[in-house]
Every structure is written in C-alpha cells, then in structure tokens.
Structure 1
C-alpha cells in the first residue's frame, strides 16, 4: 500500500513540475499589420489575428512556432494607470521579433483584449494552452 501512495505522490509532483514549466511571467507589447510573411509560416495565414511574435527569450530556434499560449495582463510595465482589462486571450506564436523588448509581441487585436494601447507594454502571465488544470 505504501508503494502505491509513493507512486501517486511522485506522479503528482511530476504533473506540478510540468505545469510550472509551461507557465511564466513576462511582458507583452503589440505590433501592427502586415502580419505576413511570418518567420514560422511565410505567407500562410494559419492563425488569423490572434497571434504573437516571440522575442529572443522565448524563440528557442523556432521551436515555439505554432504553440498556443493563454496570456493575461497582470499590471503596467510603464507609468500608464490601470492598463489591464480583465480576462485573457489565447494566441498562437507565428513570428519572431529579435529586437522586441517584450517577451511576447501580440497582434493589435490580441493586445486590445487584455490591455489599453496607451500602456504600450504590460506585465503578463502566460502559460501553454491548453492548460493542464
């Protein structure tokens, strides 16, 4: 019986570590169209307007291409008062932004769901979607 409990506890610990590995905090900004061509898919429009470009911190030699993330604004990165809107958005990474200061650079439409444009850059919580909760 003790072996079964230990196995269950170990499995639970592994699941918790996986959840942590796919969740992080960072910053988001926005970029304007044209969204094509993209670094991941060229001229193929695979995700519409709910998209993001990855910075050097998240690009990982393109391995992030096509991955979906749930993104939520958690606060201002600048002096803009109350930049966040409630809720979050699921975006697909389709591009690379090597010069971006933000972790994720969201399309205009995606950014408008989570934050005020006047903020320019906001703090975010993001995790791989679908979440394993």
Structure 2
C-alpha cells in the first residue's frame, strides 16, 4: 500500500514539473527588414523568412542559434492600438541572428513573421514566447 502511495506522489510531482516547462516567457517583439543575410548564426546561409534575432534576454553567446520558438502576440505596447494581432496570433520562428545591445524587443522577428501575427504599423507588441 505504501508503494502505491509513493508512486502516486511521484506521478503528481512529475506532472507538476512537466506543466512548469510548458509556461511561456513574456516579452516584446519588434521586426527587422530584408536582407536577412549575413546573420550571426549562419553567415550567408539562407534560412527563409520565418526567422528571428534573439536579444540578450536569451541569446546566451549564440547558444540560441537554431532553436525554434513559438511567438504569440498578446497585445499592444501602446494604448493607441489595443488589438494589433492578426491571423492565428502565433508564429514559429528559428533563431538565426543576434539583436545587439539596445535591441528594442526581447525578440526581433523578420518582417514576414511579425506581419503574420500583428499589424506592422504597431511596430512593437507584447508577446509570450516558448522554445519548442
């Protein structure tokens, strides 16, 4: 009986840990325009348009290169446009570049990636992002 109780406790702890990993970070997103090469991760290798540059918040000296993130628009950073989102409000991007110190957002999306989740006229949006 005690063994079953211990197994139940372990199962509950394991489920709790898996839910903790499911939480998304919060930040802001901006966008940059072509050309997208060269990039800090891949030099002159073409990576398509669903790409992004990581800020110091998670760049980690290039360790973010190649990681994919699901980025979701959660709202505007300004009061003038409380609902800047478009489409599904989420996009998956690959980190291919570094957004240097002074970067205006947590993540700098390609123009195409930004436009797929928010109106580019917003310029900067609040986001939730999660590595996938």
Q: Judge same fold: TM > 0.5, yes or no.
A: yes
**Aligned equivalent of 2:99:** 97
Quote how far apart the aligned CAs of 1:65 are.
Answer: 0.6
| TM-score normalised per structure 2 | 0.90
Quote how far apart the aligned CAs of 1:26 are.
Answer: 0.5
**Aligned equivalent of 1:84:** 85
1:106 to 106, 109, 114: 109
How far apart are the structure 1 equivalents of 2:79 and 2:108?
A: 19
How far apart are the structure 2 equivalents of 1:113 and 1:29?
A: 13
Q: Does the residue aligned with 1:42 lie in a helix, a strand or coil?
A: coil
Quote how far apart the aligned CAs of 1:12 are.
Answer: 1.0
How far apart are the structure 2 equivalents of 1:13 and 1:30?
A: 35
**Aligned equivalent of 1:73:** 73
* Superposition pairs of residues 1-133 of structure 1, within 5 angstroms: 1-20=4-23, 23-45=24-46, 47-81=47-81, 82-87=83-88, 88-98=90-100, 99-129=102-132
- Provide, for residues 67-123 of structure 1, a one-character-per-residue CA deviation record: whole Å limited to 9, x for no partner: 101111111112441211241110000000113110010001000001111110000
How many residues were matched structurally? 126
How far apart are the structure 2 equivalents of 1:95 and 1:80?
A: 30
How far apart are the structure 1 equivalents of 2:124 and 2:69?
A: 18
Q: Which has the larger radius of gyration?
A: 2
How far apart are the structure 2 equivalents of 1:80 and 1:51?
A: 28
Moved beyond 6 Å, runs of 4+: none
Q: Does the residue aligned with 1:102 lie in a helix, a strand or coil?
A: coil
